[in-house]
Amino acid sequence: MTVNISLSELRTRLVLEEANRTGDGGGGSDVIWNTVDEVWAAVRPGGGGEGFESDRVAGRLSHTIFIRYRGDVKPEMRFREGTRVYDIRAVFDPDRRRHWLRCLAQERDL
């Protein structure tokens, strides 16, 4: 699979975050998002939709996010751009050459 992306397209600065869960003493957990790194990315919007979530209508927008290859990005992580949050759903090396990382993400709370 050929990846059609160039370095000049990496125009968006994103914060890569991972969750740190701690017990809340009542059987649940508190989640604190810790910064892993800041990366330059190409963010390409995909499809969108809406559905019911917690008894309200919530919008969803999917994105394909390209960053330079790194081996530590996992679907349990997220990207943040200011107040915008992109939950990572899948991560893969599209051409298996370790040049680019393609992340399928969903923007939340639209």
What is residue 79's predicted lDDT score, i.e. its pLDDT? Answer: 98
Token pair of 70 as six digits: 């790194």
Cα of first residue to Cα of last residue in the chain, in angstroms, is 32
Task: Name residues of the chain where pLDDT drops below 50.
Answer: none
What is residue 40's predicted lDDT score, i.e. its pLDDT? Answer: 98
Q: Please choose, from the candidates 110, 34, 42, the residue with its C-alpha nearest in 3D space to the C-alpha of residue 76.
A: 34
What is residue 15's predicted lDDT score, i.e. its pLDDT? Answer: 98
What is residue 58's predicted lDDT score, i.e. its pLDDT? Answer: 65
**pTM (2 d.p.):** 0.83
Q: Are 22 and 29 in contact (CB under 8 A)?
A: yes
